[in-house]
Amino acid sequence: MRVIAGKARRLVLKTIEGLDTRPTTDRIKETLFNMIHDSIGDCYFLDLFSGSGAIGIEALSRGAKMAVMVEQNPKAAECIRENLKTTRLETDGVVMNCDVLTALKRLEDKDYEFDIVFMDPPYRMEWEKRVLEYFADSTVIGEETTIIIEASLDTDFDYLKSMGYEIMKEKIYKTNKHVFVGRTGKE
C-alpha cells in the first residue's frame, strides 16, 4: 500500500498484521480521490475507523489543511503515527486513539468543522448509522460536509431520509461500495 499522489507520492505505508483492519486497496483509493479531488485542497478531513491512516494521509498528501484520524486499536494508531512520520505529514495529521463516538465528542466546539468525513467502519455492525445519528446535533460537521461511507455491498441505507440525509452519489466496486451522503437539501 502506498500514497498515490501529492507531496508524499509513492511512499509506502505500513499496515498492521491480522484481520483487525481492512485496508482500502490502492485502486479503490485512487478512484475515491479522483471523485473528490476538487474538494481536497485546504479542507478539514476526518478519517473515522482509520486503520493504517492511508485515507487521511492521502488527503494530506493531496493538500488537505488538516486530517484527523480516529482509530481505537492501539497498534493501528501507532502504525498511523509511523506512517505520518514516514510521509513527513505529522504536523498536519492528528491521531486520536479512542472509539469513534468519544473522538467526536472531543472534537465538538473546535474553531472549524470538517469538510469531508470518510468512514470505513466494521461491516454489518451499523456503526455508520450511529455516527450519522451523532452528527444530527453536532458541530463537527456543517451543512456542506460530504460524508463518505465505505460499506459492504449489502449495507442498506434506507434510513437516511428519516435522519435528514440523502445519497448524493454511490460508487459500486466488486466487493464493497462508497456511499456519498449529505444533509437533505445540500446542493
Q: How many CA atoms lie within 13 A of 1 on its CB side?
A: 19
Q: Identify the three-state secondary structure at position 52.
A: coil
Average pLDDT, the chain: 90
DSSP label of 12: B
Q: What's the confidence (pLDDT) of residue 13?
A: 74
**Rounded to an integer, what distance in angstroms lies between the CA atom of residue 24 and that of residue 121?**
12
State the pLDDT at residue 2: 66
**φ and ψ at 119, to 5 degrees?**
-135, 135
User: Which pLDDT tens digit goes with each residue over 2-60?
Assistant: 667 777 666 677 777 764 555 667 788 889 999 999 999 999 999 999 998 999 999 99
Q: Does the pLDDT at position 61 exceed 90?
A: yes
Q: In the chain, how long is the greatest CA-to-CA distance?
A: 43
pTM score above 0.75: yes
Q: Write down the pLDDT at residue 15.
A: 79
| Residue 186 confidence (pLDDT) above 60 | no
Do 37 and 45 contact (CB within 8 A), yes or no? Answer: no
Distances (CA, A) of 121 to 6, 47, 57, 112: 26, 10, 18, 24
- Kindly report, residue by residue over 114-147, the tens digit of the pLDDT: 999 999 999 989 999 999 999 998 999 999 999 9
Q: Which residue has the higher pLDDT, 85 or 7?
A: 85
Fold (topology level) of 26-183: Rossmann fold (3.40.50)
With bands split at pLDDT 50, 70 and 90, how would you rate the model's confidence at 187? very low
How would you classify residue 106: left for phi > 0, otherwise alpha for psi between -120 and 50, otherwise beta? alpha
